[in-house]
Amino acid sequence: MRVAVVPPPTVASPQPRIKRRRGHGEAGAAWAYVSPAALIILGLGILPMAWSLVLSMQSSDLITPPQWIGLKNYEVISQDPSFRAAVVHTLVYTALFVPLAIAAGLGLALLLNREIRFIGFYRTLVFVPFVVSATAQGVLFSFIFDSHFGLANAILHRLHIPTQGFFADEHQALYLLVLIALWSGVGFCVVVYLAGLQDISKDLIEAAAIDGAGRVATFRHIIWPALRPVTVFLVVWETLQALQVFDMVFVTTRGGPLESTTVVVFFVWQQAFEVFNAGYAAAAAYVLAFGLLVLSIGIRFAQRRDDKEVSRS
C-alpha cells in the first residue's frame, strides 16, 4: 500500500524541466559537435558542386575570364556524338559489370560460407584484389594483356587459340576493362554477401531442412529473400561506382583505342584539361550527376513500394 503513496508528480514534474534544459543547452553543444563535419561537407561538397553548376553555364577554360552562356553547353552536349558515345560506353560497362559482379559475388560467398579448413585464407584471397588500387591493377593488366608480348596471349598461343588484340582492338578493350574491374570488384560483393549470409538464423535453415527443403528450395525461399536488402545495397553501390569509372581507363587505355573506351568521367577530364573546355566539362559532369540522382531516387521509390508490399503480405 505504501507504494501507492508515492506521488506521481515527483516523477513527472522534473521531466519537462530536464527537457527544457536539454533543448536549451544541447542545441549549442550539438552544433558544436556537428559543425566540423558540417563545415567540411559544406566546403568540400556543397560549395564545389554549386561552383561547378555555375561553371557549367559558362564558356570557361579556367584561364581567361569566363563568359555566361546560360544553357548553351547543355544544348551542345545533347547533340555531341562524342558525348553520346561516352554515355553508351559507360552504360555498356555498367550493364555488364554490375550483374556479373553481384552474381559472382553471391556464388563465391555461398561457396565460402562453410566451415572447412583454411576458410579464412580462402576468404582473404578473394578479397585481396579489392585492396589493390585501380592504378596498380591497370598497369598490371595492361602488361598481361599486351597484344604481342603479354602473358595472356602467350597462354592462348600455348592452347592453340588464335591470339587476340586485347587493348589494341577497339572491339575488345571495353569488355576487357569490365573483366579487370570484376577481378577486383567481386571481392567486395563477396564480403558484403558473407556478412549477409552470417546474419541468417541457423534455426530457419534447420527448420527448412526438417520440412524437407532441398538446397535449391532453401536458397530460393530462405537465403535469397533474406539477402534482399544486401542485394539492393550492392546494386545501388556498384552501379554508382561503375557509372563513375575513371582511374582504370586513365591508366590502361586513355579512352582508346580509337575512343572505344571513353567513359563519361574520362570525357569530362579530356574536355577540361586537354582541350580547355572547362564549362562544357562541368555540364557533362552535371548530366552524369543528374543521371545518378534520378537513378538513386528511382531505386529509393522502388524499394519503398517493395517494403510496403512485403509488410502488407
Partner 1 sequence: MGPLLSACGSDSDTGESADGTVTITMWHGQADEAKATIDKIVTAFQAKYPKIKVDASSGGVLADSMLQKITTALSSGHYPDIAYIFGPDIANVARSPKVANLQPYVTKPEVKWDDFYPAAREAVTVDGKVRGFPALVDNLCVAYNKKVFREAGVPEPTGDWTWDDFVALAKRLTDPAKGRFGTGWPAVGDEDCVWRIYPMIWDLGGSIVDDSGKKIGFDNDSGLKALQIIHQLGADKSVYADTKPGSETMYQIFNSGKMAMVATGPWELPAFVDAKTEYGVVPLPSFSGKRMTIAGPDTWTVFDNGSAKIKAAVQFLQFLTDAEQDVQWATQAGSLPLRKSTAESAEWKQHVSSTVGLDVFSDALQYAKTRPTVRAYPRISQPLGQAIVKMLLNKDTPETALQEVARAANAALVTG
Stretch near partner 1 under the rule CB under 8 A, chosen from 2-10, 20-28, 106-114, 146-154: 146-154
Phi, psi of 245 (to 5 degrees): -60, 135
148 binds partner 1 (CB under 8 A): yes
3-state secondary structure of 59: strand
Residues 6+ apart with CB under 8 A from 237: none
End-to-end CA distance of the chain: 48
- Output the CA–CA distances (angstroms, integers) from residue 161 to 142, 143, 154, 172, 178, in the order listed: 20, 19, 10, 16, 22
Task: List Cβ neighbours of 118 (8 Å cut-off, separation of 6 or more).
Answer: none
* Span of 40-48, 176-184, 191-199, 249-257 interacting with partner 1 by CB under 8 A: 249-257
Least distance CB 69 / partner 1 (angstroms): 13
Helix (H) or strand (E) holding 266: helix 264-273
Closest listed residue to residue 134, CA positions, set 184, 92, 67: 184
Among 69, 231, 276, 299, binds partner 1 (CB under 8 A): 276
**Contact window for partner 1 (CB under 8 A) among 92-100, 204-212, 253-261, 299-307:** 253-261
273 binds partner 1 per the rule CB under 8 A? yes
Question: For partner 1, which is the closer residue by CB, 52 or 231?
Answer: 52
The angle formed by the CA atoms of residues 77, 282 and 243, to the nearest 5 degrees, is: 80
Does position 15 interact with partner 1 (CB under 8 A)? The reply is no
Please report whether residue 80 would count as binding partner 1 according to CB under 8 A.
no
Of the candidate spans 19-27, 117-125, 270-278, 304-312, the one that interacts with partner 1 by CB under 8 A turns out to be 270-278
- Residues 170-209: x where in contact with partner 1 by CB under 8 A, - otherwise, as a string: x---------------------------------------
Does residue 68 sit in helix, strand or coil?
strand
140 binds partner 1 (CB under 8 A): no
* Contacts to partner 1 by CB under 8 A: 61-64, 142-143, 146-149, 167-170, 250-254, 256-259, 273-276, 278
